Amino acid sequence: MPLPAALPSALFVTGTDTEIGKTAASTALLHALRRRGLRAVGMKPVASGSQDLGQGLRNEDALALQAASRPVPDYVDVNPYALRQPIAPELAAAEDGVDIALAPIVAAFERLRATADVVVVEGVGGWLAPVSVHLDQLDIVRALRLPVVLVVGLRLGCVNHARLTAHSLRASGVECLGWIGNHIDPAMQRQDENVATLVQRLPMPCWGRLPHLPGADAQALAMHLHEG
């Protein structure tokens, strides 16, 4: 199924694991939305693995979301919590002495939404990865009242990971609009057969398959969201 003609004013992108292409999918979504003439901006509320580039801590994924956004938002709204260490956010926040709270995230989201037709909010790691000692990603989704798009890293074991994540989303009462496959393992055997199984077994439509193209820009990847 192609990317739906009508989308909500904001959505949350989660994944079956870490390093499976949430940012690639999120930036591709932003370009696809912009091609429709929509103002689309990205957000990554919490990001670990950030460096001080002279203007404060900056995260590579959050910068990619900012670059794919039109209008271009302030970095502090794209990424309210930039954490230094490239480790689980809960641990990175503790090491930085940062207490991650919902209020700054909600405030930044509202500022972004005031300037855009659609806000694409990218989560951290896999769906059940904690944001902090006290917060799960579900708390952000509920606070911002967001439906979810699931990115499935296409590799051995992806069917199990995808079905477990879909089950958790449903059990939490979260609306999942669709899923995007991302070919992270070019050596994966029976890719088409695995995708066919996912199409059959997941209770939401496939919005497309992103090919394994290291270094490909988000605008090129966006074209693949129109494939079923």
- Active-site positions read 44
Residue 13 pairs in a beta bridge with: 122, 149
Phi, psi of 111 (to 5 degrees): -65, -40
Specify the 3-state DSSP secondary structure of 70: strand
Residue with tokens 């997941």: 202
CA angle centred on 110, ends 59 and 50, rounded to 5° = 10
Give yes or no for a contact between 79 and 73, defined as CB atoms under 8 angstroms apart.
no
Residues in the chain: 228
The amino acid at residue 228 is: G
3-state secondary structure of 76: helix
Asked if residues 60 and 27 have their Cβ atoms less than 8 Å apart, the reply is no
Phi, psi of 42 (to 5 degrees): -105, 160
